[in-house]
């Protein structure tokens, strides 16, 4: 179920147009077309930029939330985790549609701005709306991963740091942050990978003219019917994703080694 579809994508990526196996001919033209077309390369860059911004924002907003949850009482912690995961019970398409009503020209945000005497803003079909939709949909993955690492942390290490004269900021930088890095790395993986290949959120919140690489792949398969070129773009994205996973795994292993060395010291 996994290998056969991937083999078909590889086969179509390295062959010319034509959906019958007997008519396929080996070629690199699909990849040459992608890497020599300025529009496709620009779309790939925009996708990487949006995914990177989304990941950074998820870390900046998710880490403090995860820290507060991990340091709360057990009953409140369960309630907070429930509140974080509750929106995920609803289909992502429905959740994204809700933001259209909130960010539209006559939506909730602009109505609030008018109440304060401010001019309405163009919020929908912009980079802001796409990034906001991605952060909203993917930040629970970041929060849960970081909270899990913080909850498993040995609290006696904080007591030891306190006995040695470390203040709150030093305890966080020297103990809490290093021990939570595996959760941060896992959160980056779970946020960056779906963000870079997302096509539903950009399509709804970015409008028909807002294209990310996921929308290009969808368009090639469903609208244009260029299976070979769409497969080639999918292969490029698969390589980027595998490189990203390899980097995050290397960071995770290096963090584990650093933590072990500090534990021995």
Tens-digit pLDDT profile for residues 11-28: 888 987 655 555 668 888
Q: What are the phi and psi torsion angles at 26 (to 5°)?
A: -65, 135
pLDDT tens per residue across span 123-175: 888 889 999 999 999 999 999 999 998 988 888 888 888 888 888 888 888 88
| Secondary structure letter of residue 88 according to DSSP | G
- What local confidence, expressed as pLDDT, does residue 209 receive? 67
Indicate the burial class of 24 (C-beta count within 10 angstroms; 0-12, 13-18, 19 or more). middle
Distance (Å, rounded) from C-alpha 214 to C-alpha 198? 5
- What local confidence, expressed as pLDDT, does residue 58 receive? 96
């Amino acid at each position: 179920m996994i290998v056969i579809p991937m083999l078909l994508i590889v086969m179509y990526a390295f062959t010319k147009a034509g959906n019958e196996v007997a008519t396929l001919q080996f070629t690199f033209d699909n990849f040459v077309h992608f890497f020599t077309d300025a529009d496709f390369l620009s779309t790939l860059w925009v996708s990487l930029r949006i995914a990177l911004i989304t990941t950074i924002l998820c870390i900046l907003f998710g880490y403090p939330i995860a820290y507060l949850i991990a340091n709360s009482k057990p009953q409140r912690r369960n309630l907070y985790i429930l509140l974080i995961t509750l929106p995920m019970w609803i289909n992502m398409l429905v959740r994204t549609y809700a933001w259209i009503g909130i960010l539209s020209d006559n939506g909730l945000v602009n109505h609030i701005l008018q109440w304060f005497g401010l001019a309405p803003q163009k919020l929908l079909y912009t980079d802001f709306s796409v990034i906001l939709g991605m952060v909203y949909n993917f930040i629970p993955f970041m929060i849960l991963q970081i909270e899990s690492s913080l909850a498993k942390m040995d609290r006696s290490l904080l007591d030891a740091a306190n006995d040695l004269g470390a203040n709150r900021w030093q305890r966080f930088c020297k103990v809490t942050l290093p021990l939570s890095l595996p959760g941060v790395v896992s959160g980056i993986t779970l946020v960056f990978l779906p963000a870079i290949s997302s096509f539903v959120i950009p399509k709804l919140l970015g409008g028909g003219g807002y294209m990310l690489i996921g929308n290009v792949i969808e368009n090639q398969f469903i609208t244009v019917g260029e299976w070979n070129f769409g497969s080639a773009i999918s292969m490029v994205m698969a390589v980027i994703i595998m490189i990203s996973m390899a980097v995050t795994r290397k960071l995770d292993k290096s963090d584990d080694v650093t933590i072990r060395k500090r534990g021995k010291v």
